A and B are shown apart, each in its own frame.
Chain A
Amino acid sequence: MEGAQRETRISAAFVAVADTLTTDFDVVDLLHTLVRECVEILEMKAGGLMLADAAGDLQLMTSTSEAAAFVEVMQLDAASGPCIDCFTSGTAVSVSDFGEETSRWPEFSKFALAEGFHAALATPMKLRGRVIGTMNLFGGNPGEVSERDAAVAQALADVATIGILQERLVREGHLIEEQLHHALDSRIMIEQAKGVIAHSLSLSMDDAFGLLRKYARDANLTIRSVAKRVSDRDLSVEEIAKAAGHKTSH
């Protein structure tokens, strides 16, 4: 993506972020938006954002694909891959060609290639010198990520980090780890809600998430709050399907 179009997309990404920084701030939606925007601006194939949990392990917080195989790749990355190296070193890690990787992460490289990923960039998310997670992008073609693109990725990752901190200011007086836990627990709630919706409407988990997200945006609610009401059985799936204009006959 070049020139004016690229600049427009970058500006739009920051505007999208600014939009979410309201009193009804939805950190899950913010992180999802950022990863998606970054993937598109850098013309990558997929991306995921990981946050450290109480044990210091990286957990997948959001990704551009909910497909099981992609999630699997991300989880491997968290054990041994560019993502965990980025996390422990606090510096960006880039892979220009998984096919050429002989010594670093042999198993991960194999899985990445099997998923059609030839290049990767892992960018650290830092808060006051402490690495709280990583943003990971995967490309469909081999090639080094340019300095300019790496800078854009870092800038968007920095915004994601500030976004997590911003929610702290809104929820008042809590520490970074509480924000991280809250985000990760939101993910659990979302997964539970996906299960409810997927079963009730015979949808894939991916489509169930899409429906959940659409309903939340249309109703101007956070994804987490909608997910909670679904899992607590305070909001029926029929209601969501109807509001989202989804055909429920099955």
Chain B
Amino acid sequence: MVRRTEPPADGVPSLVDALCASFVTELGVSGASISVVSFRGTQSAVSSSDATAARAEAIQFAMGEGPHWEVLSTREPAICPDIDAEGETRWPFFIEQARALGIRACFAFPMLMGSALVGVADLYSTTPRAINDDFVDRAWHLAGRAASPSVQRAMHSAAHHASEESRRAPALRREVHQATGMILAQLGISATAAFARLQGHAFVSGRPIEEIARAVVLGQLSFVDMPDA
């Protein structure tokens, strides 16, 4: 199930939209799409540079197949410089759909916030596109830079605070990251899963994530005996 956040009504691009657009301008790809992993384990689309990017992402979400999913399981970039290349056997159903959209190359990069994998940036090109180390390094950086702002935007949308989203996205308070660490130690899970649990509890309890995080850090809230969200 894909939830899409709407851009601000006055037409001025938000930080996340600008970060998404920067993939296109800086890497010379045809389009880009950013999504975050929600606490339910589902994907939540956050921004797309154009309709094709949005469609391609929606197709991956619906089919459970594609570079996006490879990134989620490997935490490494997924690179396909030419979908018609000899010997390309990955994601056959997705590639068929992508080709119909005019896509000829696709790439996906992990968005990491510290050790937590919080989302994926999906890129596409309408022509085959050979890439080099500079492309990969730059894409990694752009994806990393988009991580916190994208998470924040998705949290605001989920709490129906979309109208309050500012053009800037002050970073999450450090208690949020400390709490993530504490939860991962409490439950013996990954930072990715711990952050998802923290977000989940915030959503379910209707309290800001910073407030939950502070309670965790102060030892007032433990995730050990909590029922699974």
A residues lining the B interface (CB < 8 Å): 53-57, 59-60, 68, 71, 75, 173-174, 177-178, 181, 184-185, 187-189, 191-200, 205, 228, 230-233, 237
B residues lining the A interface (CB < 8 Å): 15, 19, 112-116, 134, 137, 141, 144-145, 148-149, 168-171, 173-175, 177-186, 190-191, 217
Point out the residues of chain A lying under 8 angstroms from B113, CB to CB: 185, 188
* Interchain CA distance A181-B19 in the complex, whole Å: 13
User: Which residue from chain B places its CB closest to the CB of A75 in the assembled complex?
Assistant: B173
Point out the residues of chain A lying under 8 angstroms from B217, CB to CB: 195, 205
Partner of A196, one of B134, B175, B185: B185
Point out the residues of chain B lying under 8 angstroms from A71, CB to CB: 174
Are B185 and A199 interface neighbours, CB within 8 A?
A: yes
Q: How far is the CB of B143 from chain A (nearest CB, A)?
A: 11
Q: How far is the CB of A208 from chain B (nearest CB, A)?
A: 9
Residue among B115, B134, B145 with max Cβ neighbours from chain A (10 Å) = B115
Are A195 and B185 interface neighbours, CB within 8 A?
A: yes
Are B116 and A192 interface neighbours, CB within 8 A?
A: yes
User: Which residue from chain A places its CB closest to the CB of B186 in the assembled complex?
Assistant: A199
User: Which residue from chain A places its CB closest to the CB of B181 in the assembled complex?
Assistant: A195
* Interchain CA distance A188-B181 in the complex, whole Å: 10
Point out the residues of chain A lying under 8 angstroms from B183, CB to CB: 195
Q: How far is the CB of B53 from chain A (nearest CB, A)?
A: 20
* Interchain CA distance A181-B171 in the complex, whole Å: 12
Partner of A199, one of B114, B148, B182: B182
Are B115 and A189 interface neighbours, CB within 8 A?
A: yes
A-B CB contact pairs (8 Å), 26 listed: A54-B149, A57-B170, A57-B171, A59-B171, A173-B134, A177-B145, A185-B114, A187-B174, A188-B113, A188-B114, A188-B148, A191-B114, A192-B116, A195-B182, A195-B183, A195-B185, A195-B217, A196-B181, A196-B182, A197-B181, A199-B185, A205-B178, A228-B115, A231-B114, A231-B191, A232-B115
Partner of A181, one of B141, B175, B181, B190: B141
Given A54-B145, A57-B170, A173-B134, are A194 and B181 also a contact pair (CB < 8 Å)? yes
Point out the residues of chain A lying under 8 angstroms from B112, CB to CB: 185
Point out the residues of chain A lying under 8 angstroms from B141, CB to CB: 174, 177-178, 181
> Chain A: interface secondary structure?
helix
Point out the residues of chain A lying under 8 angstroms from B191, CB to CB: 192, 231-232
Q: How far is the CB of A143 from chain B (nearest CB, A)?
A: 31
Are A185 and B182 interface neighbours, CB within 8 A?
A: no
Are A192 and B114 interface neighbours, CB within 8 A?
A: yes
Q: How far is the CB of B54 from chain A (nearest CB, A)?
A: 23
* Interchain CA distance A32-B217 in the complex, whole Å: 23
* Interchain CA distance A197-B177 in the complex, whole Å: 13
Are B171 and A195 interface neighbours, CB within 8 A?
A: no
